[in-house]
Chains A and B, each alone.
Chain A
Amino acid sequence: MEILDLGSIDRHFIRAVEEESGQDVSHCYQCGNCTAGCPLSFAYDIPVHQIMRLIQLGQKEKVLRSHAIWLCATCETCTTRCPCEVDVARVMDTLRIMARREGTVSEEGVRRFYDTFLDSVKRHGRLYEVGLLMRYNLLSGRPFADADLGPKVLGKGKLHFLPENIKGVEAIKGIFDRFAKKRGA
């Protein structure tokens, strides 16, 4: 096991997480309740209380490259039960945003799904479900995933086949454009 150099604490990272999430990470006393309750713990590479610990120790790389932050379902269990009132789910959310910015996303699939989803909102104003399914599957190179669901879903009139654009599609685009400008992209 590698030796962690405690001189490597990246205070700038700690401050950035605190500012963007509005949480004081020093409040966490490592009780493990978040990990205990997290329904996705079984899939995490780093349990969520250790994510918190790594932030306290300013270990930016380890945190932003973790898979865990992308497997979090924002279920709010950790936030609800944290005895120190840390909004852990919000911290996880912040880490995802930071990982995108830093280009250290470890779960491309999840990111791609989110992007495709948003793209659909941007294009049509609403979610165009079949389009989303197909585009996402195409992009992730598994065009027939969930094909078994097709008849179940389409036959029951659940998903819409043709995109249903809203009138305000321009307004939505406007939001995205102004947003892109504001964030300087």
Chain B
Amino acid sequence: MSSRKVAEALGIELVEVEDWSCCGSTPAHTVDHLLYGALAARNLAIAEKMGLATVVTPCPSCLVAFKSALEMVQDDGKRKELNELLDLPFQGEIQSKSLLQIIYEEVGVEAVAQRAKRPLEGMRLAPYYGCILTRPPKRAQFDDPENPITMDRILEALGAEVPEFPFKTECCGAAFGLPKRELVLTLSAKILEMAQEIGADALVVACPLCQQNLDLRQGQITSREGVSVDLPVLYITQLVGLALGFSPREVGLDKHAVSPNRLLKKWEEKLKE
């Protein structure tokens, strides 16, 4: 798990929420908003009981679920309904943030850069934020909805080259990988193509679902959409990890479908210079 190691190295203390359960993400809210809220609220209630101030999640879908539950709990009527479903009462006195937000706001770009042992020089990276990390702004309360820049700033500070990437928030097809694969292929193809067009060596993501869609399916995209794509898709935490001095294996770069070896090689050469 790259996130945990990186967080620790940045001085963020992560405690696993005991016995966490899946928040239900997209499927739950198409069934019922109350059920959706309750599944997320269960985790938050446990975290509250553990005395934690913030729940951090690497997954924007979970984040949305948490934020929705937190929104619901502000309303007295809805809070009552929620708690009728839960074993452990949920107070709503906790906040929820993405790991990216914690790194950007609490650690700070400069502090991250200062800890970098191996700057990301020579890498040309296209940051891809996905559709729900910063939108809608009212709920996300983080970064800019149209032109988010937090990953850009972190990567730049770590020495990478970050070109203007117009599709930062275009949708990759989200949860449709199984039920509507062709949609994911079409949408992900556009994003990958644009990244290649601007000469990126890799896409940088902050969401496991985006990562899956964009990384795993490149073979399918190439054969179905008739566009040849071959672009590693890395988590922002993995890149921060590399800069902090972790080995590619330590940050889990061996687990990707599209090998980042070319990128790594380019980087190592640049570092040697």
Q: Taking beta carbons and an 8 Å cutoff, which residues of A are in contact with B?
A: 39-40, 42-43, 71, 73-77, 79-80, 87, 89, 93, 96-97, 100, 107, 109-115, 117-118, 120-121, 125-127, 132-133, 136-137, 140, 145-146, 148-149, 152-153, 156-158, 166-168, 171-172, 174-176, 178-179, 182-183
Chain A residues with CB under 8 A of B135:
76-77, 79-80
- List residues of chain B with CB within 8 A of the CB of A96: 30
30 pairs from A and B in contact (CB 8 Å cutoff): A39-B131, A42-B186, A73-B171, A76-B135, A76-B136, A80-B135, A89-B136, A93-B30, A97-B30, A97-B31, A97-B32, A107-B179, A109-B179, A110-B176, A115-B31, A117-B24, A117-B27, A118-B28, A127-B22, A133-B178, A140-B179, A146-B178, A149-B220, A156-B255, A158-B255, A168-B19, A168-B21, A172-B42, A175-B35, A175-B85
Question: Contact: A79 with B30, CB < 8 Å?
Answer: no
> Are the CB atoms of A167 and B131 closer together than 8 Å?
no
Q: Are B27 and A115 in contact (CB under 8 A)?
A: yes
A80, B174: Cβ atoms closer than 8 Å? no
Residues from chain A with Cβ under 8 Å of B29 in the complex:
74, 93
Interface centre among B20, B27, B28, B175 (most CB of A within 10 A): B27
Whether A167 lies near B30 (C-beta < 8 A) is no
Contact of B42 among A76, A133, A140, A171 (CB under 8 A): A171
- Quick one: given A157-B255, A158-B255, are A171 and B87 in contact (CB under 8 Å)? yes
Most central of A100, A111, A113 by chain B CB within 10 Å? A113
Instruction: Using A76-B135, A133-B178 as known contacts, say yes or no to A179 and B32 having CB atoms under 8 A apart.
Output: yes
Q: A75-B171, A149-B217, A172-B39 are in contact. List 16 more A-B contacts (CB 8 A).
A: A40-B183, A71-B180, A97-B30, A97-B32, A109-B180, A110-B176, A117-B175, A120-B22, A125-B19, A132-B178, A152-B216, A152-B257, A167-B19, A175-B85, A182-B34, A182-B85
Q: Which of A89, A97, A121, A167 has the most CB of B within 10 A?
A: A121
Interface centre among B38, B178, B186 (most CB of A within 10 A): B178
Q: Which one of B21, B178, B187 lies within 8 Å of A125 (CB-CB)?
A: B21
- Which of B29, B30, B84, B187: most chain A Cβ within 10 A? B30
Say whether A113 contacts B27, CB under 8 Å: yes
In the complex, chain B residues whose CB is within 8 Å of the CB of A109: 179-180
B31 touches A114 (CB 8 A): yes
Instruction: Confirm or deny: B173 has a beta carbon within 8 angstroms of a beta carbon on chain A.
Output: yes
Which of A89, A100, A153, A171 is in CB contact (< 8 Å) with B31? A100
Q: How far is the CB of A71 from chain B (nearest CB, A)?
A: 7
Q: How many residues of B contact A (CB 8 A)?
A: 54
Residues of B within 8 A of A176 (CB): 35
Please give, as numbers and ranges, the residues of chain A lying within 8 Å of B92 by CB-CB distance. Answer: none
Query: Is B49 positioned at the interface, with any CB of A under 8 Å from its CB?
Result: no
Contact mask for chain B residues 173-197; partner A; CB cutoff 8 A; 1 contact, 0 none: 1111111110100110000000000
Nearest B residue to A169, CB-CB: B21
Q: Which residues of chain B have C-beta atoms less than 8 A from A178's C-beta?
A: 84-85
Complex partner residue of A166 from B20, B28, B34, CB under 8 angstroms: B20
Decide: B42 and A175 in contact? CB cutoff 8 A.
yes
On whether A75 and B183 interact (CB within 8 A), knowing A156-B256, A168-B19, A172-B21, the answer reads no
Chain A residues near B171: list those with CB within 8 A. 39-40, 73, 75, 77
- What residue in chain A is nearest B88 (Cβ atoms)? A171
A77 near B22 with CB under 8 A, answer no
Q: How far is the CA of A153 from the CA of B21 in the complex (A)?
A: 23
